[in-house]
Amino acid sequence: MSGVGRLGPATSAGHGPRPPAAASAGRAGSPDALEALRSGRIQDRVERLRTATALVGSAFYQELFKAMRETVPEGGLIDGGLGEDIFSSLMDQQLAEVSAMRESRGLASALYRHFADAYLRTDAAGTEGGE
C-alpha cells in the first residue's frame, strides 16, 4: 500500500505537462472532459485537440490495463468476487487517467503532434475542417 501514497504527490507535482483542457474541464480522461468537449464548453481549438487526444490516450491505457489484468490467473487464498471486479475496474480507470495526464512523449502527445498541423492549419485558413 505504500506505493499508493506516493502516487498522489507525483501526479500533483506535475511530472509531465497537463493538458490545458484538463484543468478547465476536469481530468483529461474523465467523463466531464468528454462532456465538455461534446457540449462545446471548450472553445479553443488547441484545447479541444489536447482534450480529445488525452481522452483517446486514457481509453487506450484503460483497455491496456484491463487486458493485462486478464492475463493474471485467478484463484489463490482469497477471491474478491464482484467487489474485486468493481475495484479493479475503477483502479484501471484511475491509472489510465493518471497515465494519460503524466505522459509527455506518449500516445496522447504523439496523436496531438500528428493531428495538430492539419487541424490547426484549417483554422488559419478560415475553414472548419472536420467539424
To the nearest 10°, report the CA torsion of 88, 90, 11, 58. Answer: 100
pLDDT band at residue 67 using 50, 70 and 90 as cut-offs: very high
Among the residues of the chain, which ranges form H helices? Answer: 2-12, 20-24, 31-39, 45-70, 81-102, 107-124
Contact 97, 27 (CB under 8 A): yes
Looking at the predicted structure, is the pLDDT value of residue 114 above 80? Answer: yes
To the nearest 10°, report the CA torsion of 72, 3, 60, 66. Answer: 20
Percentage, residues of the chain above pLDDT 70: 65
The confidence score (pLDDT) of residue 58 equals: 87
pTM surpassing 0.95?
A: no
CA distance linking residue 92 with residue 123, whole number of Å? 36
Of the given ranges (15-19, 31-35, 63-67), which has the lowest mean pLDDT? 15-19
Higher pLDDT, 82 or 30: 82
